[in-house]
Amino acid sequence: MREGVGCKAKLKHCRIELPATLGFPHGELVEPRTQDQAEPPAISKVSDPMTQTRLFLTAGKIEADRVFDLLQLAFEEDGLPISTFEVDEDAEIFDVSVYTFEPDEIEPRIRDILGSHAVNLDVQREQVPDIDWVAHSLEGLSPVRAGRFFVHGSHDRDKRRINDLGIEIDAGLAFGTGHHGTTSGCLDMIREVIRREHPRNALDLGTGSAVLAIGIAKLAPIPVLATDNDPVAVAVAQDNVVKNGVAARVQTETATGFHHPAMRFAAPFDLIVANILARPLMQLAPEMRRHLAWGGSLILSGILETQRDKVLAAHRVQGLFHQKTLRREGWVTLHLKAKSTY
């Protein structure tokens, strides 16, 4: 991904890499809004030359991809940051954003570009607050407890108790600090499954920060393969694995889906954990079954409550059957077991 130019959110979040001088959160993780989340702040039409402005359009996936490509090409020489991220997963609605200190000059150019390609979308604007995003993100990241797990940043290291299984994850370039309902739900489900089933190996698919892989390795002395399709996330994951003292157990690899030699070498897995999104989870159901050991467990999250039945149905036809559902903040974590595999 080219830093500072644009990115497309293919998974749960869009990571936007922007220079600190632009006043935008370096490496901020943008989460999709669910229906019960608040709308963005009121849009201001007043331009402050010292404040960055986000000019954005909202559209369906196909149109948003088209607009992103048009704007990225048009503003390539200007070096303006451009991003797209999903704001409504169920409806597949995306925001395409251009960040600038000169909105009164850039907005007409955007309208001209769209008009010349018969794109009929409104351009909206909002000012980006001038915030120390590093300090701000740390202020909001209070420690999270999930059973014996204590997920914390380095600034809260001294708050660990004697019997805590501490997982130190600082806010950064990869998803997974324990604060999202999907992450804490997975940690609770992992604890239950490991305590009851004693798996001999595990796969964390779409590992992000490696918070789940680290949790597995701290609970059980077993080999864990942690993969992600984003090489930046894998680098962050490896750093976290080392920092948490589980490098001897956790192997990190860059991989798309199940396409990696390490997968074939380590399979079948007694435990597979995948905290990504409902759609790719359903698409990967056949591969999940093929790589899961007989009687093994599958823990899935990144699923909205409204998507639960579809995800379960996609896996049921593959011989993966529902055992339990945990619900957190409008998200669900599912535990399924293989009736037969391999």
The pTM of this model reads 0.63
- Tell whether the model's pLDDT for residue 231 goes beyond 80: yes
Instruction: Supply the pLDDT for residue 168.
Output: 86
Instruction: Supply the pLDDT for residue 17.
Output: 35
Weakest-pLDDT range from 183-187, 219-223, 295-299: 183-187
Which residue type does 228 have? D
Quick one: tokens of 90?
């169920």
Instruction: Supply the pLDDT for residue 290.
Output: 95
Give the pLDDT band (50/70/90) at residue 219: very high
- Phi, psi (5° rounding) for residue 164? -70, 145
Give the pLDDT band (50/70/90) at residue 323: very high
Instruction: Supply the pLDDT for residue 148.
Output: 81
Query: Which range is most confident: 33-47, 68-82, 255-269?
Result: 255-269
pLDDT digits (tens, 9 = 90+) for 165-209: 878 887 654 344 444 568 889 999 999 999 999 999 999 999 988
- State the chain's mean pLDDT as an integer: 80
Quick one: tokens of 119?
């794109």
Q: What are the CB-based long-range contacts (under 8 Å, 24+) for 108-111?
A: 109/74, 110/55, 110/57, 110/71
Average pLDDT over residues 100-108: 92
Instruction: Supply the pLDDT for residue 190.
Output: 96
Instruction: Supply the pLDDT for residue 285.
Output: 96
241 vs 121: which has the higher pLDDT: 241
Cβ neighbours of residue 248 closer than 8 Å, sequence gap 6 or more:
none
Torsion, Cα of 221, 225, 227, 232 (10° steps):
60
Helix (H), strand (E), coil (C) string for the chain: CCCCCEEECCCCCEEECCCHHHCCCCCEEECCCCCCCCCCCCCCCCCCCCCCEEEEEEEEHHHHHHHHHHHHHHCCCCCCCEEEEEEECCCCEEEEEEEECCHHHHHHHHHHHHHHCCCCCCCEEEECCCCCHHHHHHHHCCCEEECCEEEECHHHHHHCCCCCEEEECCCCCCCCCCCCHHHHHHHHHHHHHHHHHCCCCEEEECCCCCHHHHHHHHHCCCCEEEEECCHHHHHHHHHHHHHCCCCCCEEEEECECCECHHHHHHCCEEEEEEECCHHHHHHCHHHHHHHEEEEEEEEEEEEEHHHHHHHHHHHHCCCEEEEEEEEECCEEEEEEEECCCC
332 vs 22: which has the higher pLDDT: 332
CB 266 within 8 A of CB 224: no
Instruction: Supply the pLDDT for residue 141.
Output: 53
**Do 6-134 and 179-338 agree at the fold level?**
no
222 vs 82: which has the higher pLDDT: 222
Under CATH, which number does the domain 6-134 receive? 3.30.70
- Tell whether the model's pLDDT for residue 5 goes beyond 70: no
Instruction: Supply the pLDDT for residue 172.
Output: 52
Give the pLDDT band (50/70/90) at residue 41: very low
pLDDT digits (tens, 9 = 90+) for 109-167: 999 998 888 788 889 999 877 655 444 444 445 677 777 877 877 777 777 788 878 78
- Tell whether the model's pLDDT for residue 45 goes beyond 70: no
- Tell whether the model's pLDDT for residue 20 goes beyond 60: no
pLDDT digits (tens, 9 = 90+) for 242-294: 999 999 999 999 998 998 999 999 999 999 999 998 999 999 999 999 999 99
State which fold the 179-338 domain adopts: Rossmann fold (3.40.50)
- Tell whether the model's pLDDT for residue 54 goes beyond 60: yes
Instruction: Tell me which residue of 264, 238, 261 sits closest to 249, measured CA to CA.
Output: 238
Give the pLDDT band (50/70/90) at residue 34: very low
CB 133 within 8 A of CB 171: no
């956790």: which residue's tokens?
Answer: 250
Structural domain spans, the chain: 6-134, 179-338
In angstroms, how far is the first alpha carbon of the chain from the final one? Answer: 37
